[in-house]
Amino acid sequence: MTRRHAKLRGAAFLGGRGVCWRALACAWVCAGAITASGAIAMAAPSYSTVVRAGGGPPQPVAQALDAESASAVAGSGGDAVVAAQGLTGVARPTPGATGLVMWGAQASESAVLYEGMELPALYHQGGFRATTGAALVGRIEVVPAAFSVAHGRSIGGLVRVDGRGFPAAENALTLDASTLDVGLAAHTTSPTLSLAAAARVSDLQATYGTFAPAATTALFPVPRYADAQAEVSRVFAGGGKLRLLGLWSHDEVTKIFGAPAPGLGPRQEHLRLSWWRVGLIYGERRDDDGLASLMYVGGEQSSDERRFSATPTLRDESALSVGAHLRYRVDLTSALQTTVGLELLLQRGLYRQTGSATVPAREGDVGTFAQSPGDDINADRWVVRGGNVAAYALAAWRGGGWTLSPGLRLDAFPVDGDRSVPSVGHTPQVGYARLWWALDPRVALIYRPRPGLVLRAAGGIYHRAADAGDRSAVFGAPALAPARALHLVLGGWCDLAGAASLDVDAFFRAMDGLPRRSTLPAPLLGEALVARGAGRAFGVSATLRRELALGVRGWATYTLSRSERALSDGGWRLFDGDQTHVLTVVAARGWGDWSLSGRARYATGTPRTPVVGAFLDARDQRAEPLFGVQNGARLPAFWAVDARVDRRFVAARWRLTVSLDVENVTGHRNAEEIVYAQDFSSSGYLTGPPLLVLFGVRLEV
Amino acid sequence: MSRRAMRGCARLAPLVATAALTAACQPTLVDEPWRVRGPRVVAVRATPPEASPGTEVMLEAVGLSPGPAGSADPASNTGWSVCRRPKPLAESRVVDPACLFDPVDQVGNPVKVTLPADGCALFGPDPAQPAPGEPPTRPRDPDATGGFYQPITVQWGDEPTVALVRISCDLPQASGAVAREFRARYSANQSPVIADLALQVGDGSLASPWELPPGTSATLTLTPDPFSAEAFPVFDPLAGVLVDQREALAVSWWITGGTLSFDARDPADASTVLWRAPDEAGTVEIVAVLRDSRGGQDVRRSMVVVR
């Protein structure tokens, strides 16, 4: 079987014997083990990885999930992108997290793409739902590290969300209602034209918000969110496809904390984020070979307002971005394929901040939960124009069971701003302009010595420009250089006896040039942040997939890792999101119109800096903590068991699915934060929900 | 709040059966920051409350101890150290914690302390002149009232206390005209004044000396002098102009016995609190601290005999 025969057209099902978790890698290399199918027929969640594999060389350590299968995973709440939280190498998200921590890189160091368009957040506030919606999502791919030169602007991992394809000549309307939100989706297709749209809005205020006491919502506030997606696509006679995509997302949440001391008002934090993207995608051929292009524009607005006693803090951001990605892929010979591409992202942002320089919190900040920010305040308003222009070339040579994919990416990171130092009186402000270059070589080597065994190694250099929001002359540093990372991965996949497969990867990631706060007692002007942070992460991830007796299928993922950040004195401390052990076990079974799934999770508690004493601030009449070793303690380990049951009722013209998704069925009280008495004389754990019950109804007409 | 939260969670539990979401819950903590559990300094009075660097201020520590009244007043054994270490910009607390362990400069109470002459360079907006070829350093940020403070550590009792004395410095980032206008309009802070501290049982105020039966509930009311809240100009760095502000007054309480309850409807107003006397006979000391937003304080110390 040639590679081109094995290449999957449209949706393909990797199932049965020879299931490969690293789907994309296997789709390319273990072609003989793949069963291809043109349609997804899901009577029950199979947990097999379903991909729409592109024609290019694979991401060596990618994991891809089919949305329809993933949405039936226990704990996903019916949102496929949420199921990605249980993939190998992904740390258990902290409550309310809007991104994924992958192999020791914080969420903001990774990139989130929807059909190639960069998104500011993967999840809505609360972490229950994806900002991309669920109705039009077809596939989620998570690459924790070592991705190819076709992607940049990330020193962590990569999350790719792709739209789904709809069967030809179909009209459908779907109403989705749950205790989280209400959504409506519709699509209509013809052989050449397809229209699809979806929208959903949270109803948590009417469900959870009605009953939740305000005092319990500090860690789990009631978020308000909404999102909408639309897609128009046209297929041309030559096989080319043109797609027009639109995405919109809105989030709003208010966190209420107690008073820091008697006589002071309660602390409040109000967050708001809205963003949109409109993109035009053209693919010359359906299998992603030939010319593929993407152009998009987008905007985002966010605000973070905190009222912590006498220190109000406000941060507003408003940005417009234009992106483009042009790629051409061609088989030069039967054994050699080349890909060249150009990528462009330009952004213009207007930022305003008043308040403490310690807001917003950054990785490495030492503090307690809901601690008031510093009482010294300042203000700044700054404009930043910047972005990234990149060119890359990627080759893939195959022969004798070997696949070698070397690539080279040249990045330019231009930036200019209106203020290089804080303004003083009527002195004319002095702007700045910088240009950084980066050359990133990356390589992936995959070897298949025999059927059922794949060995792989990958690595490379990665760069990521500093956030424009960090380029304040007062609160940040206008001249922050891009951060850099080295990724190394060594692993393999093997087909075990008994319908099982095992995937193992050892990884190492080193990062430098990370923006961190200046630790100097007197920082230089315009250098409240310095690009001198460094980090390292290493460990092993493993995935075991097995078909059990009685038709039960399941997988188990385990990651052993350690992630550290450099201290200013040369030592190392634990990364704020470090989790030594992360274990997830998923099992599922279907009976006709019923499907059952269960999930068990275990994760080491994240690090915390212990409070070892206190002193009194006599001016404010408030106790302040004395800290021990930074990240010298951990929260207790997290564990939970989740269950989900779906029942489908099918008639000639409609289909109704009723689901019940219960997280933490044992009611175990997992510690999520440490809270202290106002004088720090005692402490306790703020625990997560004892039980999270999500009831959903989905009607498809 | 913690107990209320727990009760809220208990109310919420039945909702699980109706397929609603259940909430996270806070632990039950004994949250009594006003209780004096061991000898400690609870307030520091500075006279004057705002001074120029290099000048002298009188500092008096007010201490309390849960033992017999007046048994452990901070006096000759009170240590004072003047901090000369600015806190890093990333530090959320009011002082670099290393200053808490500085060697003692003076012993006694009250003491006269000379503020460091370079206070506005260390803790204010006047960064030291850079060496030739070196870039300038970042001026320190003021607090919400435009003030800069000299930290002074007080060592007495179980926990260290940090006093912050407001120092008069120039405006950062302001034009010459605005700086001149500021100098003309700004008046150094004056400490607020407690006009009255009353203990009420039922409708009647108790006459001094206060005496109560054990377990009695009484209302403590602090009345500030009406002229305590002064007006002053603050520089707005974004607009580049001076903005008039008026001081906010706040009240704190410290007790050696009994229990305090704050008005849940307006927790930010602690001028009136409910005090329940201890069930055992004895003497209870109460310290009320009235403070303004520019760091000035007045302290009233009272004794209640419970029998």
pLDDT value at A226 more than 50: yes
pLDDT value of residue A688: 85
Whole-Å CA distances, A184 to A121, A174, A371: 22, 6, 40
Mean pLDDT for the stretch of residues A224-233: 96
Percent of chain A with pLDDT over 70: 88
* Contact residues on chain B for A614, CB-CB shorter than 8 A: 159
Instruction: Write down the pLDDT at residue B131.
Output: 81
3-state secondary structure of B177: helix
Cα separation, A296 vs A281, whole angstroms: 8
Edge-first strand order for the sheet with B40-47 is: B40-47, B56-64, B111-114
Nearest chain A residue to B270 by CA: give it: A263
**Closest to B64 in 3D by CA, of B253, B246, B243:** B253
Instruction: Determine the pLDDT at residue B20.
Output: 39
Joined together, the tokens standing for residue B226 give 């009406």
- Predicted pLDDT of residue B137: 87
Determine, for residues A621 and B43 on separate chains, whether the beta-carbon distance falls below 8 Å: yes
Residues in chain B with CB shorter than 8 Å from the CB of A368 are none
- Segment A606-657, tens digit of pLDDT: 999 999 999 999 999 999 999 999 999 999 999 999 999 999 999 988 999 9
Is the per-residue pLDDT at A61 higher than 80?
yes
d(C-alpha A20, C-alpha A28), whole Å = 11
**Distance in Å, alpha carbon of B214 to nearest chain A alpha carbon:** 25
Q: Which of the listed ranges B69-73, B98-102, B268-272 does the model predict with the highest average pLDDT? A: B98-102
User: Quick one: pLDDT at residue A310?
Assistant: 66
Q: B27 near A686, Cβ under 8 Å?
A: yes
pLDDT of A526 > 60? The answer is yes
Q: pLDDT for A545-578, tens place per residue?
A: 887 766 788 889 999 999 999 998 889 999 999 9
- pLDDT at position A12 over 80: no
State whether B33 and A617 contact (CB < 8 Å).
Answer: no
Ranges of H-type helices in A147-277: 208-211
A418 at B interface, C-beta within 8 A: no
User: Which residues of B, range 188-227, sit inside 8 Å of A by Cβ?
Assistant: none
- CB contacts < 8 A, A to B, total 280
Q: Kindly state the helix (H) or strand (E) to which residue A24 belongs, with its residue range.
A: helix A23-29
**Whether B140 and A376 lie within 8 Å, measured CB to CB:** yes
Is the whole model's pTM more than 0.80, yes or no? Answer: yes
pLDDT at A214 over 90: no
Predicted confidence (pLDDT) at residue B18 exceeds the cutoff of 80:
no
Calculate how close chain A gets to B25, using CA atoms only, in Å: 5
The label of the residue with tokens 């809270």 reads A675
Give the tokens for residue A64. Answer: 């891809």
Q: How confident is the model at residue A78, as a pLDDT? A: 86
Name, of A478-492, A514-528, A583-597, A659-673, the range with top average pLDDT.
Answer: A478-492
Q: Do A618 and B175 touch (CB under 8 A)?
A: no
User: When comparing pLDDT for B176 and A506, which is higher?
Assistant: A506
A127 or A414, greater pLDDT: A414
The verdict on whether omega for the bond into residue B209 sits within 30 degrees of 0, i.e. cis, is yes
> pLDDT tens digits, residue range B178-232?
999 999 999 999 999 999 999 999 878 888 788 999 999 999 999 999 999 999 9
Chain A CB contacts of B127 under 8 Å are 522
The pLDDT value given to residue B41: 93
How many helices and strands in chain B, by DSSP H and E?
Answer: 3, 19
User: Which residues does chain A have within 8 Å of residue B240's beta carbon, measured at their own beta carbons?
Assistant: 423, 425-426
B131 at A interface, C-beta within 8 A: no
Instruction: Encode A451-476: b = buried (16+ Cβ within 10 Å), e = exposed.
Output: ebebbbbbbbbbbbbbbbbbbbbbbb
Mean pLDDT along residues A50-57: 44
Among chain B residues, CA nearest to A670: B24
Contact A686/B26, CB-based, under 8 Å?
A: yes
> Using 50, 70 and 90 to split pLDDT, how confident is the model at B132?
confident
> Is the Cβ pair B29, A682 closer than 8 Å?
yes
A666 contact B CB<8A? no
Q: What is the pLDDT of residue A654?
A: 93
Segment A274-301 shows an average pLDDT of: 90
Q: Cis (ω within 30 of 0) for the bond into A144?
A: no
The closest CB to that of B30, out of A379, A522, A677, belongs to A677
Residue A287 pLDDT class (50, 70, 90 cuts): low
Name the A residues in 118-177 with CB < 8 Å from any B CB. Answer: none
DSSP state of B178: H
Residues from chain A contacting residue B30 (CB–CB below 8 Å): 677, 681-682
- A171, pLDDT greater than 60: yes
What is the model's pLDDT at position A222?
A: 84
Instruction: Note whether B34 contacts A519, CB cutoff 8 Å.
Output: no
Asked whether residue A51 carries a pLDDT value surpassing 50, the answer given is no
Strand A622-627 with A377-399, pairing: unpaired
Task: Please state the ipTM of this predicted complex.
Answer: 0.91
pLDDT reported for residue A290: 86
Residue B15 has pLDDT above 80, yes or no: no
Q: Closest-CA residue in chain B for A382?
A: B238
Which residue in this structure is represented by tokens 């959870």?
A208
Cα of B307 to nearest chain A Cα, Å: 28
DSSP A692: E
In chain A, % of residues over pLDDT 90: 65
Q: Give the closest of A378, A677, A691 to B31, CB-based.
A: A677
Closest approach of A432 to chain B, Cα-based (Å)? 16
Please name the residue of chain B whose CA is at the shortest distance from the CA of residue A363: B90
**One-letter-per-residue 3-state SS of A63-75:** EEEEHHHHCCCCC
Q: Closest Cα of chain B to A449: distance in Å?
A: 51
Is the model's pLDDT at A525 over the cut of 80? yes
Q: Are B293 and B142 in contact (CB under 8 A)?
A: no
Q: What percent of chain B has pLDDT over 70?
A: 88
Instruction: pLDDT band for B1, please (50, 70, 90 cuts).
Output: very low
Q: Decide if A193 touches B, using CB distance below 8 A.
A: no
The predicted-structure confidence for B20-56, as pLDDT tens digits, reads as follows 344 457 787 888 889 998 899 999 999 999 999 999 9
The shortest CB-CB distance from A357 to any of B7, B41, B141 is to B141
**B42, B47, B5, B29: which is closest to B190 by C-alpha?**
B47
The full 3-state SS of A553-604, as one line of letters, equals EEEEEEEEEEEEEECCCCCEEECCCCCCEEEEEEEEEEECCEEEEEEEEEEC
Task: Give CA separation, A425 vs A95, B173, B181, B205, in Å.
Answer: 44, 6, 13, 55
On the question of pLDDT at A220 being above 90, the answer is: no
**Res B106: pLDDT:** 93
- In this prediction, residue A3 carries a pLDDT of 37
So what's the pLDDT on residue A691? 82
Q: H/E element holding B115? A: none
Is the pLDDT assigned to residue A600 strictly greater than 90? yes
* Between A22 and A328, the higher pLDDT residue: A328
Contacts of B253 in chain A (CB under 8 A): 262
Query: Is residue B17 over pLDDT 80?
Result: no
Interface touch A375/B136, C-beta < 8 Å:
no
